[in-house]
């Protein structure tokens, strides 16, 4: 029997076209390929335009700080001649306290310019606060749809804190229990209200992050005379990685390595009622980072503008305990009390810095605000309440959902390389699976898949042959 869910989702394309004011069908080239750059440019704003929009909105131009004390500590654990200089872009200086103010500012500008009465976003966290903040400045109504609780109506302190902040900015917050209904309720509300979809995954939002990469390049050139050797980016749904990398490339920083970083939450299912409160990180983890990289079009929009495999050079994972250690170290060494999720990339940077020579530079491209439920002590206390063991020791003993092991010394922090080649194969498999049965990829499809996976047509052809052999 058809359900309300089926009826709404069957009309998702039509509803999202109306809610975004753009027709994704214009960019489709085949069942597999679409014109990504045309979609990204469709809003018509130049990078200079977006800088102007964000400046007027009180967003961007955040400080770039060299972490000299932190770098010295990392160097004390390195071999002679190793230990890159570490810098951080302090995105907590944005109005709502995170880099997501950048993507929200563009979406809200578009909504206002196109005459929408209000905006809707589906998010558990910082993006909701950013949308609510920007909507308040633009005098637009705002609804935030938030996955907040497990079936016992128990919410993580970080998520509850973010709901409070959204309401403080004047937004209506629709709180849901964990499950697959988040995007459904967003689409349903868009259909009912006629509001603008301030989606995390639209070209408007992802284009807004390009200014972050632009600023990193400009400020590093001013401080050091060169672009950074590497930019380490906390990776979840892919917008942060995609937007920052695009901004760096548009600034001419083509030699900067793009290093994505996530907390390893392998073994926990993000839509599981049992697992929902047994993780201490609601974003910046592999539960989002891997699925959204290997199939971006699982998002609320027909074609996701966040396509991180196009840009990743490496993908590093770290443990929850390692991130909590680095969060505390930054407070003590640099006077930066910031949220743990934003420090995921900082933790990976510790490991990466040990590999690189002293003259190399690493930029960690974001911080996020902290306070109340977002603070690392609140998160650790909640973990204990959920039956998760928290102890000091070897972080290699960390078991997501069961044990959080906080390192005793900085030298114990060691990021792990995630297999990007495996992710590319998964992406190609998902793209073929989403096409009609029996569809044979064309030369143009293969070229698109090569671009979307940052590989080559020959590599894609080999992946397709491997898939065909398995199915034979």
- pLDDT per residue, tens digit, the chain (472 aa), is 357 878 887 888 889 899 999 999 999 999 999 999 999 999 999 999 999 999 999 999 999 999 999 999 999 999 999 999 999 999 999 999 999 999 999 999 999 999 999 999 998 778 999 999 999 999 999 999 998 888 899 988 988 888 999 999 999 999 988 877 788 889 999 999 999 999 999 999 999 999 999 999 999 999 999 999 999 999 999 999 999 999 999 999 999 999 999 999 999 888 888 888 899 888 899 999 999 999 999 988 899 999 999 999 999 999 999 999 999 999 999 999 999 888 999 999 999 999 999 999 999 999 999 988 889 999 999 999 999 999 999 999 999 999 999 999 999 999 999 999 999 999 999 999 999 999 999 999 999 999 999 999 999 999 999 998 887 6
Pinpoint the alpha helices (H) of 295-367: 320-334, 344-355
Q: What is the pLDDT of residues 346-363, one digit of tens each?
A: 999 999 999 999 999 999
What are the CB-based long-range contacts (under 8 Å, 24+) for 162-167? 162/124, 162/125, 162/126, 162/128, 162/129, 162/373, 162/374, 163/128, 164/372, 165/96, 165/128, 165/129, 165/132, 166/128, 166/129, 166/132, 166/142
Query: Rounded to two decimals, what is the model's pTM?
Result: 0.95
65: β partners: 88
Quickly list DSSP for 376-415.
Answer: HHHHHHHHHHTT-EEEEE-GGG-BTTTEEEEESSGGG---
Residue 2: the pLDDT is 53
Classify residue 85 by burial, with Cβ atoms within 10 Å: 0-12, 13-18, 19+: buried
Summarize pLDDT for 196-254 with one digit per residue, the tens.
999 999 999 999 999 999 999 999 999 999 999 999 999 999 999 999 999 999 999 99
Task: Quote the pLDDT of residue 13.
Answer: 82
b (16+ CB within 10 A) / e for 212-242: bbbbbbebbeeeeeebbbbbbbbbbbbbbbb
Whether 231 contacts 242, CB under 8 Å: no
Angle at 165 between CA 160 and CA 171, to 5 degrees: 105
50-54 — which CB contacts under 8 Å span 24+ positions? 50/106, 50/207, 50/208, 50/210, 50/211, 51/211, 51/214, 53/105, 53/106, 53/109, 54/102, 54/105, 54/106, 54/208, 54/211
The tally of CA atoms less than 13 A away on the side-chain side of residue 364 is 34
Q: How far is CA 419 from CA 453, 463, 472, in A?
A: 13, 15, 26
Which tokens go with 196?
């603008």
Q: How far apart are CA 57 and CA 59, in angstroms?
A: 6
Angstrom distance (rounded) from CA 424 to CA 422:
5
CB 260 within 8 A of CB 412: no
CA 423 to chain centre: 17
Length of the chain: 472
């Amino acid at each position: 029997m058809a359900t309300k869910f089926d009826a709404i989702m069957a009309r998702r394309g039509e509803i999202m076209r109306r809610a975004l004011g753009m027709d994704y069908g214009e960019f489709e080239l085949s069942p597999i390929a679409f014109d990504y750059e045309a979609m990204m440019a469709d809003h018509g704003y130049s990078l200079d335009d977006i800088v102007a929009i964000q400046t007027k909105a009180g967003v961007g131009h955040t400080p770039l700080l060299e972490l000299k004390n932190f770098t010295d500590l990392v160097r004390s654990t390195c071999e002679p001649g190793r230990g890159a200089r570490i810098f951080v872009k302090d995105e907590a200086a944005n109005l709502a306290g995170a880099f997501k103010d950048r993507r929200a500012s563009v979406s809200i500008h578009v909504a206002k310019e196109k005459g929408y009465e209000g905006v809707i976003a589906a998010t558990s966290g910082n993006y909701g606060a950013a949308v609510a903040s920007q909507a308040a400045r633009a005098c637009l109504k705002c609804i935030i749809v938030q996955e907040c609780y497990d079936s016992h109506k128990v919410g993580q302190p970080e998520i509850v804190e973010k709901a409070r902040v959204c309401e403080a900015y004047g937004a209506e917050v629709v709180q849901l229990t964990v499950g697959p209904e988040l995007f459904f309720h967003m689409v349903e509300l868009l259909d009912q209200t006629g509001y603008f979809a301030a989606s995390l995954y639209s070209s408007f939002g992802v284009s807004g992050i390009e200014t972050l990469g632009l600023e990193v390049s400009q400020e590093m050139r001013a401080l050091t005379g060169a672009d950074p050797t590497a930019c380490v980016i906390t990776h979840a749904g892919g917008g942060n990685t995609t937007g920052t990398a695009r901004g760096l490339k548009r600034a001419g920083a083509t030699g900067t390595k793009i290093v994505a970083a996530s907390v390893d939450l392998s073994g926990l299912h993000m839509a599981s009622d049992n697992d929902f409160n047994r993780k201490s990180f609601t974003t910046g983890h592999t539960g989002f980072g891997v699925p959204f990289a290997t199939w971006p079009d699982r998002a609320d929009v027909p074609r996701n503008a966040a396509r991180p495999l196009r840009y990743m050079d490496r993908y590093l994972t770290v443990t929850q305990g390692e991130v909590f250690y680095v969060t505390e170290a930054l407070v003590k060494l640099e006077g930066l009390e910031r949220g743990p999720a934003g420090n995921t990339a900082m933790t990976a940077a510790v490991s990466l810095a040990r590999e690189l020579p002293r003259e190399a530079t690493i930029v960690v491209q974001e911080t996020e605000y902290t306070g109340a439920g977002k603070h690392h002590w609140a998160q650790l206390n909640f973990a204990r309440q959920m039956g998760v063991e928290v102890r000091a020791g070897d972080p290699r003993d960390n078991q997501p959902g069961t044990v959080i092991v906080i390192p005793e010394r900085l030298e114990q922090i060691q990021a792990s390389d995630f297999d990007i080649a495996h992710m590319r194969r998964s992406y190609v498999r998902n793209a073929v699976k989403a096409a009609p049965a029996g569809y044979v990829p064309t030369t143009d499809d293969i070229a698109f898949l090569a671009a979307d996976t940052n590989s080559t047509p020959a590599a894609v052809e080999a992946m397709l042959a491997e898939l065909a052999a398995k199915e034979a």
